[in-house]
Structure formats: C-alpha cells, structure tokens
Amino acid sequence: MAAIIQQKNSFPGNILHDSSKASYTFARAITPVSELNELLNRMSETVSSLLDFKGCVIRLKEVPKGWIISSYNIPYGLLKILSGRLGRHISDIVFEQKTPLVVNNTSTINNELKVLSLYVKSFASVPLIKGENVIGTIELYNRQSSVSPDISSFTSAEIITLEGLALLASMAIDKAYACNEARRGNEKLSRLLFINSAVRGTLKLERLLRLVLSSITVNDDLGFNRAVLFLFDSEKRVLKGRMGVTPGDLSKTGSFEQVLARDYNNIPNMTNNNKRVLLNCDSRFNKISCNIEIPVDYNCYITRAVKEKLSFNVKDARQDSNVSPIILNNFNTDAYAIVPVIARDKTIGVLWVDNVYSKREITDDDIEFLSGFANEVASTIENARLFEKVCHAENELENIFESISDMIYITDMEFKIVRANKSVSEIVGKHIDEITGRRCFEVFHNTGSPCEHCLHTKTISSKKSQISEVKGFFHENEETWLLSNSPMFDPFGNITGSVHIVRNISEISKLREQLIMSEKLASLGEMAAGVAHAIRNPLVSVGGFARRLEKDLEPPLNDYANIIVKEVARLEGILKETIGFVRNNSDTSGEKVEINTLLASAVELMENVFDSNISIERNICETPLYITGNSGRLKEAFINLIQNAGQAIESSGKIIVKTMRKEDKAIIEITDQGAGISEKEMRHIFDPFFTTKPNGSGIGLAMTHRIINEHNGIIDVNSEPGSGANFVLTLPLASTDDDNGEGI
C-alpha cells in the first residue's frame, strides 16, 4: 500500500474530489491480484484509505447471508453487530433496492439501525453490481477527513465516485471468480491425473479405497465433507457399505475451516512423505457405513444408480420420496449426491457424498467431476476386489496345505524340495527351513542318491502320475506308506517338478490284513464244515476197528494197529482244532478278568508240560490289570503263545513272560530264545494252517490272533532269525480300573 499512499499524497487536495484519479489508484492496487480472498482484503483496505473511512466490510451474496467475507479495521464489537441480524438487514436493503444506502449521522436514526450510533457516526453501503445482478456490497464506516475532522457527510459527487469504485470492484471480483474456476478446473484435472497414477500403484483393496475416498474429501475447494463407497454383492443382491470417510466430529474439533486447516494435507505430500493415505477418519461414521445393506430390488436413488447407471443430485433429502430411509436415518443429511461406479460396462457399486458440515451446495460441475473420478478408479477397484478374492483363495489354499495331516512336498527337476507343509516338518522332526533346498532322498532316506524305485524319477520320465505302497519310506522305519506323485508343468507345458503326497497307512494296512484274514476264515469255515461231515464218521469207524484189532492181533501185527490208533487220534485232534477255529465264537462274556492271575495259571500249566531244559521267567506287574473279556478264550491264547515259544526252543532255553501297564492299556510280552522267524515267514504266521513244524497244525497262532482281536486288542511280533521271537499283546483296560500307575 506504500505506492497507493504515495500517489494519494501526490494529488493536490482531497482525492475524493478526483473520481478518475481515485479509480486509477484503486485499479492499480487490485488489478495484479487474482486470488479472491487476497483481492477482497486488498479492496477493503484500499477503498478505506482512498475515501477516508476508518473501516470497511465486503459481503458477497453467494456466501450465506450474514457472513462477512472480508473486513478492514472494524472493532470487534461492531464486527459482531454487522455479522448478526442488523448487518444482514443492511445488506438485504441494498440487495433489494440495488442502490447505495448512505447515513451521514447515525444519531438521527429512529429505527432498528439506531444501535449503530454506539460505534458509528456515518456509513455508506454500495452494491457490487454485475450486469443486472447484485453480487455483494461494500460497506464503509466512520468517515474521516484530513481537511476537517468534523466532515462526515457525503456529497452526490462522492457517492458517484464510490459507485465507480464499486463497479471496478465488481469487475475485479468477476475476474477473480473466473480465475478461481479455472484454477479449480486445473486442480480437478491434476487431481484426476494424480489419483489415476496413485490408485494404480496398489492392489490392496483397503488401502485403495481409503486413497479413493480421501482424494474426494481432501480439501474445502474440491472435496466433499463425507464420502461412502457402496459395493454391489451380486450373490446377495445388496449394496453393502464398504468404507466411509469424514473429517471427524466438528462439535469437538471446531469449525469446518479449522478441521481442514489442521487435519488435511494435499495428496501428493502424503504420498511423497510415504504416509498412509488416510484422513482423520471418524471411526463411528465408518462403522455406520459398513453396517448398511440396501437390497437392489428396493426402489430408491441409490439402487437406481446401480440399475440405471445414472447419477443423482438430491437437493432436499428429507422431502424427496425417492430417498431411502436407511440413508436418511444413518447419515442424517439434507442433501447428497450419488454416482455409479462402472467397470467393464458393469456397475460394481456407487459413490455417495455430501457436504453436511460446510453446507456447500453440490453443483452439476461437482457431479461431473465425481463421475469422471468414479470412471477413473472403477476398473482399479474391480481389479483390487479380484486381487483380494485371489489372495483370500490363496490364503485358504495355504491353510489347507498346512493343515493336511498327510505329508505334502514339491520337488524340482533336481530332486530339491521347493515347498513342504507342516506335517513334513513334524514327522521328519526338523524345521521347515532345514528341509527346503535339500534333496528329498537325503531328507527321507538318508542316502546320497535316489532309490531304485523312485516315483519322482518315474513321474519325470513318463510325465504321468504314479502311486505306490512301500514299507519303510523313512530311514529305519518299518511302517507302511502310500506314495502319490504327480507332475507339475509351467504355462508352456514343460515339466518343472512333481508334487508328492505321502500318507501313513499302517493302520489301514493292518485292517486290510484283518479283512483278508476274515475272508480266509470264511472260506475255511465252509471247507471245514464239509470236511467235518465227510471224514468224522469214517475216522471214528477206522479208530474203533483199529483199537479192536490192536487187542486181538499178536505181535508184530498189533503194533501196526497201534500206529493206526495213534494217527487216527492225531487226525481227530486236528479235526477238533479246525472245527473249533472256524466256529464264530466271539463271545467275550463281559466278565472282569485280572490278566496277571490268568497268565500265571497258564504259565503253571505249561511248566508241568515242558521238559526241565525249558524254564519260564516271570516278570509280572505288581499292579492288577483288569480287562473285560472271556477268561477261557484269553487263557487259550496265552497257552498257545507259551506252547509256541517252547516249541521254538530246540534244545534248552528260557521263556520270559512280562506284563505292564501303559496308560489305559495292558501289555503282555512273551519272549523266547528260539531260532527266530524269517521275514518271509513273518508275513504268514497268523494265516490258518501255516506252520513250520513237522507235526504242527497251523491253527494255534491263527486262533490266538482271532481271540486278541475279539477283545479289541493288538498282537505284534518282533523277531529276527537266530534271535528268538517277541510277541506283544496290547489289550484295553476295563473302564472301572482307576489305577493310573505304570509298573513292570
């Protein structure tokens, strides 16, 4: 303002008397300024200085009535009055009459304006006119003069000068509006370009949506007060709130301008500073937004935006019958706008905005900007939704992969383990990092090269899936495993490795063996029934006549008859065992049997049968072991095992009988010092009629196996040729047995 003051002082006399020079000085002061707020401030100060007034107020009609857009040198008390009902009354008079309102002496006022006399001696309010319309007012207060302090009245020439300055001010304001609109247009375009670049930089849906909504609520000039994105759920056929953003609770944070000044950064700065692209989001508003679901079959603006692909600018939400009560009740808004979000010619959701705090009217330009914005981000949102679904499916597959109890691992062409699930780590007993990167035969077989029948090798060569059942898949492991191996291909059809699935089927293998045994026994039962009827009666006759001949014949013929009698008796014994075995006598009686006592009686019986060169060592648990079963059948099983152990000892040796408790099971071990059992014989020892003894029937062990199974038990055999055999029986203890100790 130094130049203005200098020019004012260079004019002879009062510049008020020289309208052209005043207009020239005023124009020079305001012409360089295009920003509206700065322009209005410059105007109020310059016109006060040029026209010798202590203070000035400028109002614009587009701003809500009573708002003073700019003021200069107005005391607080007067400014408060002018901002209230009295100030609005002055502006209303000027807006309506489109002529200046001049008061030379406020003490003479007799109406409601008389209160001004407390602060003001004189004032003038001049309309700012553009064409035929009043766009605002310039109000000058307390005229002063360098010539005479008492001058407070206006001449008609002075009013004309003031109107001329107001005309220049109107043109400058109109120019500032045009510049402001151009700037807003450029900012909108820049924002769209930036948003387009920014949103394409992420596929994380949550971050993307936050960035999108933050972009349209980021400042007062281009942004909205609140924004909500609704996404269309095609399966449920509902619009569901996905995210809501708002500046926060203004009742706690102050005016809207204060919230903007304090909480908002421009988008580029937030990105450049590597901040999360977030506003001061009101979590309550976000929760309200996310809990909203609107069926698309319901007829309202928001569903019509989806079905008709149209935008809607709702001016009076409380009176419009097409407004959804859900929107009205949850958002408590008077006006809002909705634009569809369309990707690949398909509506994927809607964008809802309002200006609940600033009360700024949503214009057609705003709708156009919002539609352009929605078009820019629609495909990116859809891509992010698809990416989220892919990530969700990937996480599900990952969880499935890790939770499967079977071992699953992937090997490349060089046998290296690329990926393995949790079960591999648990079963092998090594951390997953110790497994990946190593060759599979090193991890599982403890060898330096693939085994002879490696499924991976077969899969790579044949490019087909392979299945095999092996015993002892691991080093020093005798369990049965089912191996499945499938090839993996790249997008060009080249094989890159194979997927291995390894399942422990030891229990299944045992069940299968039991099923085979049952089928054999069923066949044997049919055969035994026929054999019994076919040979029992003739055998009785042969035996009877042989005994008579033995009595009547003289030596050596009676010796021959004696041989016949013995062999017939042996055949009758075999027949009896066979018939007893094939009978389905699975009655376990349900009696409570004490294992230690029952086994001791079987041992005493067999001690009287064995020669002195065979001894039986007892290692019986002191704790009673009660099970539910048939004592007679169990004793028969014990006798068969002890007898079998004695027969395995060729000259002299010892049989060890041992019992113990392990958790809720009774363990019985019978160990001999015989010749042992070969691997080939081990596969068949429980088969009916399989025997390695010259006079054996092959029924004893088969019968024992059946009895133990009838009592829900397990029988295992450990043996090597030359090292004897160890039979281990595992039987479930009775539920009434409360003794939890473990002893030997």
For residue 324, the SS3 value is coil
Segment 645-660 shows an average pLDDT of 88
Q: Is 12 left (phi over 0), alpha (psi -120 to 50) or beta?
A: beta
List pLDDT tens digits, range 114-167.
Answer: 777 788 888 889 999 888 888 889 998 887 765 555 556 777 777 888 888 999
Residue given tokens 């000027």 in the structure block? 94
Residue 696 has pLDDT above 80, yes or no: no
Residue 9 has pLDDT above 70, yes or no: no
List pLDDT tens digits, range 519-532.
Answer: 776 776 667 666 76
Contact at 8 Å (CB) between 724 and 673? yes
Segment 611-625 shows an average pLDDT of 89
Cα 215 to Cα 193: distance, rounded to the nearest angstrom: 12
Q: Which helix (H) or strand (E) holds 440?
A: helix 440-444
Q: Which residue has the higher pLDDT, 140 or 580?
A: 140
Q: Which residue has the higher pLDDT, 19 or 705?
A: 705
Residue 728 has pLDDT above 90, yes or no: yes
List pLDDT tens digits, range 380-403.
Answer: 788 777 888 888 888 888 888 888
Cα 109 to Cα 116: distance, rounded to the nearest angstrom: 9
The pLDDT confidence band at residue 308, using thresholds 50, 70 and 90, is very high
Segment 43-53 shows an average pLDDT of 87
Least confident interval from 262-276, 303-317, 551-565, 592-606: 262-276
Cα 44 to Cα 168: distance, rounded to the nearest angstrom: 13
The pLDDT confidence band at residue 533, using thresholds 50, 70 and 90, is low
Q: Which two tokens stand for residue 137?
A: 């007012």
Segment 60-86 shows an average pLDDT of 78
The pLDDT confidence band at residue 250, using thresholds 50, 70 and 90, is very low
Q: How much is the pLDDT for 666?
A: 93
Cα 416 to Cα 400: distance, rounded to the nearest angstrom: 23
Q: How much is the pLDDT for 4?
A: 28
Q: How much is the pLDDT for 510?
A: 78
Segment 453-478 shows an average pLDDT of 84
Residue 274 has pLDDT above 70, yes or no: no
The pLDDT confidence band at residue 695, using thresholds 50, 70 and 90, is low
Cα 503 to Cα 499: distance, rounded to the nearest angstrom: 13
Q: Please state the separation of Cα 356 from the chain's center in Å.
A: 35
Which of 13-17, 28-32, 197-201, 388-392 has the highest mean predicted lDDT (pLDDT)?
A: 28-32
Q: What mean pLDDT is reported for the chain? A: 80
pTM: 0.45
Cα 454 to Cα 738: distance, rounded to the nearest angstrom: 50
Residue given tokens 């958002």 in the structure block? 331
Distances 722 to 650, 683, 685, 725 between C-alpha atoms, Å: 12, 18, 17, 9
Q: How much is the pLDDT for 480?
A: 85
Give buried/exposed letters for 420-459 (b at 16+ CB in 10 A, else e).
bbebbbebbeeebeebbeebbbebbbeeeeeeeebbbbeb
The maximal CA–CA distance of the chain, rounded, in angstroms, is 180
Strand partners, 741: none
Q: How much is the pLDDT for 16?
A: 44
Cα 135 to Cα 640: distance, rounded to the nearest angstrom: 117
Residue 235 has pLDDT above 80, yes or no: yes
Burial class (CB in 10 A: 0-12, 13-18, 19+), 180: middle
Q: Residues in the chain, how many?
A: 744
For residue 343, the SS3 value is strand
Burial class (CB in 10 A: 0-12, 13-18, 19+), 44: buried
Residue 233 has pLDDT above 60, yes or no: yes
Residue 69 has pLDDT above 80, yes or no: no
Residue given tokens 């040029």 in the structure block? 50
**DSSP letter, residue 540:** H
Q: How much is the pLDDT for 313?
A: 94
Residue given tokens 């066979």 in the structure block? 578
SS (H, E, C) 613-626: CEEEEEECCCCCCE
The pLDDT confidence band at residue 18, using thresholds 50, 70 and 90, is low
Q: Which residue has the higher pLDDT, 152 or 251?
A: 152
614-619 and 653-662 strand pairing: parallel
Query: What proportions of the chain, in percent to the nearest 5, are helix, strand and coil?
Result: 45, 20, 30
Least confident interval from 5-9, 109-113, 184-188, 389-393: 5-9
All residues at 6 or more sequence positions from 678 whose CB lies less than 8 Å from its CB, including other chains: 721
φ/ψ of residue 481, rounded to 5: -130, 145
Q: Which amino acid is at 32?
A: P
The pLDDT confidence band at residue 469, using thresholds 50, 70 and 90, is confident
φ/ψ of residue 486, rounded to 5: -130, 140
Contact at 8 Å (CB) between 641 and 600? no
Q: Which two tokens stand for residue 155?
A: 């001449």
User: How large a percentage of the chain has pLDDT more than 70?
Assistant: 82
Q: How much is the pLDDT for 159?
A: 82
The pLDDT confidence band at residue 3, using thresholds 50, 70 and 90, is very low
Q: Which two tokens stand for residue 174?
A: 């109109």
Q: Is 476 left (phi over 0), alpha (psi -120 to 50) or beta?
A: left
Domains located in the chain, CATH noted: 2-182 (3.30.450.40), 201-389 (3.30.450.40), 405-499 (3.30.450.20), 509-582 (1.10.287), 591-741 (3.30.565.10)
Q: How much is the pLDDT for 315?
A: 92
List pLDDT tens digits, range 621-630.
Answer: 989 999 998 8
The pLDDT confidence band at residue 60, using thresholds 50, 70 and 90, is confident
